[in-house]
Structure formats: C-alpha cells, structure tokens
Chain A
Amino acid sequence: MKLTQGCFSFLPDLSDEQITKQVQYCLSKGWAVNIEFTDDPHPRNTYWEMWGLPMFDLADAAGVMMELAECRRVYGDRYIRVSGFDSSHGWESVRISFLVNRPAKEAEFELVRQEMAVRSVRYTTVHRQPQPASS
C-alpha cells in the first residue's frame, strides 16, 4: 500500500532533483527545513523523530540534501519526510511537508467502520501487518 501523506503524495515519488527544488523553494521563503523520520506512519502519529536540528539559516538546498543522504543511509528502512516551518508572525506553523523516503515494504492500514447510536459512524484506522509481496 502506497502511503499518501503530506504534499505531493498522489504524485509519483519525487526524485532527488525535485526534492532539491522544493527545499530551495522553502529556503527562499525563509522557512526552517526539517528532516524527520518514523517507523509508525499512522496518520494520527504527529510525533516523528527529528534528524538533527532544524536548518534555518541555509542559503542552498545542497546542505539539506547532504543531511537527507546521511539520514537515508542510517534510516533508509523508515519513512522520512521533509517539512518547512514558517516562523513569521501570524503563521508560526509548518507550511509544507512531504515524504522523501519510504521503506521497501510499506505499512498497511485498514479502515474499520462502526455504526454508532443515532446513525453516527465511527472510523478507526487499524494498523495491519504487512502482507507478503505475492498478494
């Protein structure tokens, strides 16, 4: 199952060149670029681990790509995402976030629907064990 999370997630995976351009865009806007990774990509899991510190005074995306390469080397079997944090007044939040690495065998989720009282519906996302590649 191809995980769709953050920007560009319905596009094919971004190439390094495309990632560089997105990062450069973030830097040109003055956003702090962060690299985060996790082995639990559940949509409600907002606590991804950070790779190093936020990179807020770079001029060129090459610096971020250097860190990303290092992060991939260490955590290549996990999900890695890049996010751009806008610290300007009134925003103070993440403006962009996209996946840059996914494990060879991706996580599987199942949506369980429950009929509740007064015809309301409750959805639960259940983490499923990855299926063998044959299916």
Chain B
Amino acid sequence: MLDVPHTTTIEVNEVPTAFDLRKEAEAAGITETLHQLEQELIGLKPVKQRVRQIASLLLIERIRQRAGLVSSAPTLHMSFTGNPGTGKTTVALRMAKILHGLGFVRRGQVISVTRDDLVGQYIGHTAPKTKEILKKAMGGVLFIDEAYYLHRPDNERDYGQEAIEILLQVMENQREDLVVILAGYGERMTSFFASNPGFRSRIAHHIEFPDYSEAELLYIAELMLRERGYRFSAAARESFERYIVLRRTQPFFSNARSVRNAVDRIRLRQADRLVSDLDRMLEIADLETIDPSDVLASRVFSGGAGSEQATGSKCP
C-alpha cells in the first residue's frame, strides 16, 4: 500500500466503509412507503413481498453506488396477472407512486393505456401512435391494461404486432427512462406471453395476484363502508359473511369488485328502507347503520345472480 499515489489515498478515505442501514432506509423514504402499502392494501401477500424486495434492492444499489462497487439500474418492467377484481389496476397505479418515491422513475406520472391507444386502424398509423404514448410516458410508468388484446393471433392483418415490436425495443433500450406494467387475467396473459416470447423475458417481475380469502373480502367490505360513512350492525355483518360464502361459489364472481357492487346495492336497499317510512324521525345512527335485511334481500340468497346462466351452461 505504500506505493499508492497520494491522490488515490484521499479518494479511498472519502468512501465510507460502513453504512447505517436504518438511516439510509429512512432517508430514502422506504420505511414509510412500505408501511403505507401495508396499511392501504388488504391481503395480496406475494405482491407486497415483491415490492419489499424491489425496495430493498434499490436501497442496496444506492449504498453500493456510494461505496464505489459495481451497480446497475435494475429492470423494473412488471406483469400483473390474476383473476378479475384482485386489485391489479389499483396496485399498478400505486406502484408508480412507490417507484417515484423510491427514486426508480424520475417523474412518477402514470400513462394508462389500452389497445386503442397504441394500435392504429390503418397501415402506418400504429408506429406514430405508439411512439406518441411512449414519449408521454417517459420518466414515468406506462400501464397497459388487458395487454393480451394487443396481439390478435387470429387476424394476421392486425397491427398490434407492430406496437408490440416498438414497445419491446423501448423497453429494452430505455430501461432507465420508462417502467412498463402489463396487467391482465392470468390465463390470457399466459397465452399472450406464449405468442410473444420476447415480452416474457424482458419483464423482470411477474407478479401473480391471488384471490382474496373470505375474511379479506369482509374486511374490504367494511373498509368500503367506512369510507362512505356506513357501518354494519352486528347481525348485518354476520349475514354479509354468509353472503360472501355464497357469492364466491356463484359464477362471475370477481373478488373485490363484486364486493364493491354488493356494497353499492346494499346502500341502495338501505336508502329504500329508510324512505319507505316517511313518518319516521331519522337519527344519525339510522343513516349510518346497515341492517341485516339490507343484506339478506340480495338475490344471492335465493339462487343468486347469474346462477341461471351457470346451470344453463353446465347442463346441455
């Protein structure tokens, strides 16, 4: 070490040899962001776990950079797959905020697009359209909902393939400028990736959204009601638990979305019940409380919404 030139010695001295991880995490706002994610989203364990991993990677990358070790920008393109109503869109929109907060993307805007925004109707329309969207999304997150519609294998004169090619090119070459999030239903996304092999390998994070458990669905319903200034009475809560169990077995069940629709209908029935007796003095508690009758009036308890179609399709 004696023959090391003087200037180099000074540089070596400037690099810290130890890092306070807690302080670093708080400085980057990671602890707060993760806490918020935990609070605001119910269930979705694998999703939260992956976000935590990504955040940790960023933190370590930052420290490595300061320590003068080799570091490279991580690939952040993501694909969210899962059944209807499992919160793919919600998480994607929130992900932009998280990535921006953690310094992964420079601006943090989300451009949410579907096939119509990317693919043109005539020859030569697609490339300018796709590029226009990409330009807007630069420095932020490009969220492509129902990405499998981009590719129509049955129509060979479809221009979706052109959009996919441009997208792939930008995803590969401008990784620091843009994060692409694809979202869609599990099975269709699988076949989409099967027909576009380049896409699968360019996406670093394939996140599977699990269905919600019954307890989680109940919690979501209560959260939604609380946000709207309502609450279940004890008996109503019990009947809603039964409602969830029944609804899950019925066709067209779409997780949180079904719960949201149910909550909306319950509010309708409650309002109807209140208005039916005009001579009555209303109290605050009346306005807030959902009674079991509001829940039990649902069609779900008497055969159910959409159950006819289901039996029809099952018995030819």
Enumerate chain A interface residues (CB-CB to B < 8 A): 52, 55, 57-64, 66-67
Contacts and interface: CB of A to CB of B under 8 A. Distances in A.
B109 interface: yes
* Residue with the greatest number of chain B CB neighbours at <10 A, chosen from A52, A57, A60, A67: A60
Nearest to B132: A53
A57 B136 contact: yes
A52 B109 CA distance: 23
B109 A59 contact: yes
B107 interface: yes
B147 to A, nearest CB: 21
Instruction: State the main secondary structure of chain B at its contact with A.
Output: loop
Contacts of A55: 135
Interface of B: 106-107, 109, 128, 131, 134-140, 170, 174, 177-178
16 contacts: A52-B128, A55-B135, A57-B136, A58-B135, A59-B139, A59-B140, A60-B107, A60-B138, A60-B140, A61-B139, A62-B174, A63-B136, A63-B139, A66-B131, A66-B135, A66-B138
Contact of A59 (B128, B136, B170, B174): B136
Contacts of A67: 131, 135
A89 B135 CA distance: 26
Given A55-B135, A60-B177, A67-B131, 5 more contacts: A62-B138, A62-B139, A63-B135, A63-B139, A66-B138
B131 to A, nearest CB: 8
B106 A66 contact: no
A63 B134 contact: yes
Find the residue from B107, B128, B135 having the highest chain A CB count within 10 A. B135
B106 A60 contact: yes
A55 B131 CA distance: 12
B266 to A, nearest CB: 41
Top 4 nearest A-B pairs (CB, nearest first) are A60-B139, A63-B135, A62-B138, A63-B138
Contacts of A58: 135-136, 138
Contacts of A63: 134-139
